[in-house]
Amino acid sequence: MTEHLHAEVERLRHALNEANYRYYVLDAPALSDAEYDRLLRRLETIEAEHPEWVTPDSPTQRVGAAPAEKFERVEHRVPMLSLTDVFDDEELAAFDERVRKLLGVDEVDYVCEPKLDGLAIELVYEKGRFVRGSTRGDGLVGEDVTRNLKTMKAVPLRLRAPDVRQLREVPELLEARGEVLLFKDAFARLNAQREEAGEAAFVNPRNAAAGSLRQLDPAATARRPLTLFIYEVGESSAAFSTHWEKLEALRALGLRVNPRNRRCRGLAAVRAYVRETADRRNSEPYEIDGIVVKVDSEDSRRRLGFVSRAPRWAVAYKLPPQEEATVVESIDVNVGRTGALTPVAHLAPVFVGGVTVSNASLHNENELRRKDVRVGDTVLVRRAGDVIPEIVQVVLTKRPHGAMPYEFPDRCPVCGSAAPRPEGEAIARCVGMACPAKLREGILHFASRPALDIRGLGEALVGQLVEKGLVRELADLYDLSREDWLGLERMGEKSADNILAALQRSKQTTLPRFLDAIGIPGVGEATAKLLAQTFSDVEALEAADEAALQRIRDVGPALAGEIRAFFAEPQNRRSIHRLLEAGIRPAAVARAARGGVFAGKTLVLTGTLSRMTRDEAKAEIERRGGRVSGSVSQKTDFVVAGDEAGSKLDKARELGVAVLDEAAFLAKLGDDRG
């Protein structure tokens, strides 16, 4: 039995390593996320029962180390050298001429590679196992970031058995060198998350990659979408005759090598590669700032040697910067579809990153203050690919006399409603229910299933209602006649009748659904239920002060302030009263349970339960005094994990949150349905 189980462990490790290789190196996934999670959970279960079988290169060991107090120093066996920069074709030709003259040849084979804008690292493998990872540092001494690199699934913990002409077995020692980076789309998502959380946005992907890898807590690194490309070898027990053979061997060992690398015969081919790379620079998924040109022959490299701390056999051809200077002509605030107020700088048009830029987002008030952008300032603007243009920094030496800080509005510039910014948050939001800037989104939320569930009222239809001016606030939906609906595009008589019937049904709703539907900032399904269990009707909630609101579980000072500001806005009170006058009757609900097995507890549901739907499970939890949250945190008391549970289960284990499988959950409910 033990031998059979041990064999299963090896099969699971192989399957998971193969899945990581195909997903993160080949970009060709072989397993679904659910299947990957299932295999990983099975391996975790077996290793928990047999901790003596756990190995450092097991897929389960990527995350879990405690935060470090500092990074240890690592001395590189072979220095990680910097490269000499060249900036134009003339300097590139001079490099080629020097190489040919020193080697005494008429033409040289080069390998050209995109110069990645990330953080240089070294991965050390002994007998195929990843044993240490470090940053470049000053080239001689770096920092030990082994635990953080192990969290990256693009870093194989065990090398694959190669099958290429130049390498038939895994080397006893291999120091693989490369670049840790963030792809542009991942960088944009990361900054959006940071802004939503009130944190400062990263200036560029390189800073984000460096900051992510140098987290003292490996779990923090694991949450960042880092990847890497390997492009060189330090010390190795394997010998190679050319750099191109070396790259092929690295790829065969399971390390990620850039598919854009190219072997070029002579200067003309290098020039062609430079032109192609410059042309597609904006369409690449990652930032590049140049092209690395390396002599291919390893013997020629040894003959060429080094000068100072740079090799004579390689240069970095730097592409023109994608930053330009321009002047801020004005600053306005845009209101997004969710009511978020975003400052935007209007610029003197400047050509940067392949397009003419005249506007740049300043993201939020915090960023505006941090960068201290003022009208009349000269600023550096960056644009790369499809990334929205951004102001990198102000050129303070060129600031005009008398330039004043921008005064951020406290009311919505579109509808005039209050636009508070809760304490500790970065984004101010308009609270106006009838604000034209957020009307479409407001109607769609109002009609959504968790709210008033108005079937058939989708995006296309809502778009027509707003564009034609038929609906200027939510209550207008109930004033539309059958003829109004029939006048819309692609609206037949049956569809019109169905919409009218759905609107009529929506009038009979519950107070929690109504409170969710009207879009109170910070109030979703769960909080709406708590409010409805405390206040008997809308009028009672409208009259409640912040002290009364804060007596409700999970309603702190910030949320209480948002709720109070929402109901203090005259526009909102008028809109709510119009809805009630239209015939909506929000039914009161029972008071919150004070007892029960989950009284005062917060639970998270993940995966699929076989005995009940998620809505039924949620109702059972709330009936027993509990609250259901959509995300796992330190405040979570239980995670209920059904089949194919995913990242929430991983987060629970990471934080040490108690996990209930379906049987344990039903036992706590005292299920008696057989």
User: Which residues are part of the catalytic machinery?
Assistant: 115
Give residue 111's region: left, alpha or beta (phi > 0; psi -120 to 50): beta
Determine the Cα–Cα distance for residues 649 and 453; give it in Å rounded to an integer: 30
Mention every residue, 6+ apart, whose C-beta is less than 8 A from residue 469. none
CA nearest 34: which of 604, 646, 614? 646
The number of C-alpha atoms within 13 Å of 29 and in the hemisphere containing its C-beta is: 7
The secondary structure of residue 443, as a DSSP letter, is H
Burial of residue 617 (CB within 10 Å: 0-12, 13-18, 19+) is buried
Query: By the 8 A CB rule, do 426 and 366 touch?
Result: yes
* The amino acid at 590: A
The secondary structure of residue 535, as a DSSP letter, is -
Largest CA distance in the chain: 93
Determine the Cα–Cα distance for residues 570 and 77; give it in Å rounded to an integer: 71
At 293, is the secondary structure helix, strand, or coil?
A: strand
Measure the CA dihedral 590/594/600/603, to 10°.
-50
At 331, is the secondary structure helix, strand, or coil?
A: strand
CA nearest 167: which of 111, 245, 243? 245
CA nearest 406: which of 323, 339, 324, 346? 346
Mention every residue, 6+ apart, whose C-beta is less than 8 A from residue 602. 626, 627, 628, 629, 635, 636, 637, 638
